[in-house]
Chain A
Amino acid sequence: MATRNIDTTNVVAGVLLLAIGAFFGLQTMGLEIGTSLRMGPGYFPMMLTILLLILGVAVLISAFKTKAGEPIGPIAWRGMLLILPAPVFFGLTVKGLGFVPALFFTALIAAGASIKMKPLTALILAVIVTIASTLIFSYGLGLPFRRFGPWLPQF
């Protein structure tokens, strides 16, 4: 049972830091480092990347020295599946469909993330959110959104 005393959370955390460090490290390769007198665009990021990699190693080492921490607990899979795409959908459609339909679907998608939400409630909620936001943000505050976009048939 050699794995008993490993804090899995910190193993994942350390590996994640190393991966992020590696990503930034690779990206920094293409940048000019410069000298300490005239620092290039890559100088500061390079220092930070090295620091991040060191910290990643430190977290990884600490995972093997401490006793197992709290478990990670339940993960909001359904939430991630529906909450995260909501703003992406809004971004993809706000120019094409326009503010009103894009927002309606965004609210509807997000509403699906809860197991407690019933379809009809979600629909009514999305309609209310859309009407209220259009009144407040578009008419009230005058934010420059196109309410209905070019993808829709124009009247």
Chain B
Amino acid sequence: MELLSNLALGFSVATSLENLMFCLIGALLGTLIGVLPGIGATATIAMLLPITFQLEPVSSLIMLAGIYYGAQYGGSTTAILLNLPGESSSAVTALDGYQMARKGRAGVALAVAALGSFFAGSVSTLLVAIFAPPLTAIALKFGSAEYFSLMVLGLVMSIVLAHGSIVKAMAMVVLGLLLGCVGTDIYTGAPRFTMGITNYADGLNFVALAVGVFGIAEILRNLEDEGGEREVMTKNVTNLMPTRKDFRDMVGPVLRGTGLGSLLGILPGGGAILASFASYTVEKKLSKHPEEFGKGAIAGVAGPESANNAGAQTSFIPLLTLGIPANPVMALMIGAMIIQGIVPGPNVVSEQPDLFWGIIASMWIGNLMLVVLNLPLIGLWVRLLTVPYYILFPIIMAMCSIGVYSVNSNVYDLYAVAFFGFLGYVMYKLRFEPAPLLLGFVLGPLLEENLRRAMILSRGDPTTFVTRPISLTLLLMSLAVLIVVFLPAIRKSRDEVFVESEG
């Protein structure tokens, strides 16, 4: 069995004492920052990215994966205890999790979230191990035209999965693509949009963009209204163990959530976010007691949390096989890989099998660590929640500044952070979504390069995108998705899903 020997290789890499330690530190740090209210997984990873720069590539990516799971777990903790989801994917958890906490079952809700996530994580890790290599083989047949069309599909998906206005989400993608053009043109060496500042010749720093748009804009949002007091559900986190009935109630949702999440996670453009919404809707439809949803139904926590984690895991598939990020977090991972000198794409699996399989194995280990460590540590995380926000954000600002500066030691990156923080806040105020912007920014240079290369190869004939079958299929899928979201009926139900999540 090739799969087994590959997994064995992965585990031998991931279980080296050093890598176990980095995975552990990553998971702990990720939870620590993720637990802080109002900071989602994306901002957490952007902030902690610099810590990993000095490490070996494998260790650094293992640690980042640990941070990712930790941040997600931390996000569910705040969603349940504070009704403050750090990220849209845990918004669904907040619906019933917070209600469970109000009924004195906060501990059970946290345990269900952790166990469901662990199960989903285990299954989907195996799925990644099984499906990534054959997909890599397909990816190797991809030419520039196919890559271009695939990225178009990814961007279209990110538009569809964004909240609110589709036109505005499109504008964000286009703006992201334009920001991605800043810097030196790869073919001619001509500087573009640098306004004469040579420090921007290498392009805008994506860590600066992510920290600004996600981290700093977030802080400004939280500072808007300082008067309100939050009700922290910390008193009742003593009883963690779900009852026998709880277990029976969660099996179905966890299984369905895992399946749904795994499937949706593979989609480029942010399927993991959709996964928790989809799972919630499905559970509500299937439930014999739909009226319990929104009032503390255990299925409303178990399903979405499993779906979310499964999707988070399988979204590594497009990253590892094609080098295309499925969501902002994966975009950050790509940035980290590039900084480490790894070109993400189908060649990683053949050229650096230890890296590839090491990451896959560490996903599972990271999940295990979260269950083993975080359930006993919940008391500590809960105490963190009581730290007032005005103490936290100066620390976050200091870490953001250090983090961004440490990427390239370029002080202009720090000015960019301030600018993108401002832009991110203005965009939030005007109800624009930041995720499509970041995805557009990361894919922009790749998209342009493949477009130009494809056009040169086809001698300037644009029909190359529709005469090659894979490319045509991908473009037709993008078109179909766009047509579908503009259909009035679908549009209405899409609105309902998002409204429900905010209710």
Partners in one complex: yes
Q: Which residues of A contact B (CB under 8 A)?
A: 9-10, 12-13, 16-17, 20, 24, 27, 31-32, 35-45, 48-49, 51-52, 55-56, 58-59, 62, 69, 72-76, 78-80, 83-88, 90-92, 94-95, 103, 106-108, 110-111, 113-117, 121-122, 125-126, 129-130, 133, 137, 141-145
Contact residues of A: prevailing secondary structure: helix
Bits for B204-230, please: 1 = Cβ < 8 Å to A, else 0.
000000000000100111011110000
**Chain B nearest Cβ from A29, distance in angstroms:** 12
- Asked if residues B175 and A73 are in contact (CB atoms below 8 Å), the reply is no
Closest 3 pairs (CB-CB, A-B): A37-B460, A91-B414, A79-B223
CA distance in complex: A59, B431 (Å):
12
Taking CB atoms, residues of chain B closer than 8 Å to A62 are 165, 167
- Asked if residues A52 and B452 are in contact (CB atoms below 8 Å), the reply is no
Q: Does B190 contact A (CB under 8 A)?
A: yes
Instruction: Give the contacting residue for B395; candidates A37, A51, A88, A107; CB below 8 A.
Output: A107
Instruction: Give the contacting residue for B178; candidates A52, A94, A125; CB below 8 A.
Output: A52
Q: Does B448 contact A (CB under 8 A)?
A: yes
- Asked if residues B391 and A79 are in contact (CB atoms below 8 Å), the reply is no
Chain B residues with a Cβ closer than 8 Å to the other chain, count: 68
- Asked if residues B174 and A40 are in contact (CB atoms below 8 Å), the reply is no
- Asked if residues B192 and A52 are in contact (CB atoms below 8 Å), the reply is no
Residue from A44, A94, A122, A144 with most neighbouring chain B CB atoms (10 Å)? A44
Query: Which of B130-138, B299-307, B418-426 touches A?
Result: B418-426
CA distance in complex: A84, B421 (Å):
7
Q: A69-B431, A94-B411 are in contact. Are A76 and B221 (CB under 8 A)?
A: yes
CA distance in complex: A32, B189 (Å):
12
Taking CB atoms, residues of chain A closer than 8 Å to B192 are 27, 31, 41-42, 45
Taking CB atoms, residues of chain A closer than 8 Å to B221 are 76
Bits for B140-176, please: 1 = Cβ < 8 Å to A, else 0.
0000000000000000000000000101101100110
CA distance in complex: A114, B170 (Å):
35
Residue from B50, B188, B402, B405 with most neighbouring chain A CB atoms (10 Å)? B402
Q: Does B398 contact A (CB under 8 A)?
A: yes
CA distance in complex: A20, B412 (Å):
21
Give the contacts of B396-426 with A (CB-CB under 8 A). 397-402, 404-406, 409, 411-415, 417-418, 421-422, 425-426
Q: A39-B455, A83-B220, A117-B390 are in contact. Are A141 and B431 (CB under 8 A)?
A: no
**Chain A nearest Cβ from B28, distance in angstroms:** 14
Taking CB atoms, residues of chain B closer than 8 Å to A121 are 391
- Asked if residues A143 and B406 are in contact (CB atoms below 8 Å), the reply is yes
Taking CB atoms, residues of chain B closer than 8 Å to A40 are 188, 190
Taking CB atoms, residues of chain A closer than 8 Å to B391 are 121, 125
Can you list 6 A-B contacts (CB < 8 A)?
Answer: A44-B181, A83-B219, A83-B220, A103-B398, A125-B394, A145-B406
Q: Which residue of A lies closest to B391 (CB)?
A: A125
Q: Does B251 contact A (CB under 8 A)?
A: no
Q: Does B272 contact A (CB under 8 A)?
A: no
Taking CB atoms, residues of chain A closer than 8 Å to B422 are 80, 84
Taking CB atoms, residues of chain A closer than 8 Å to B219 are 79, 83
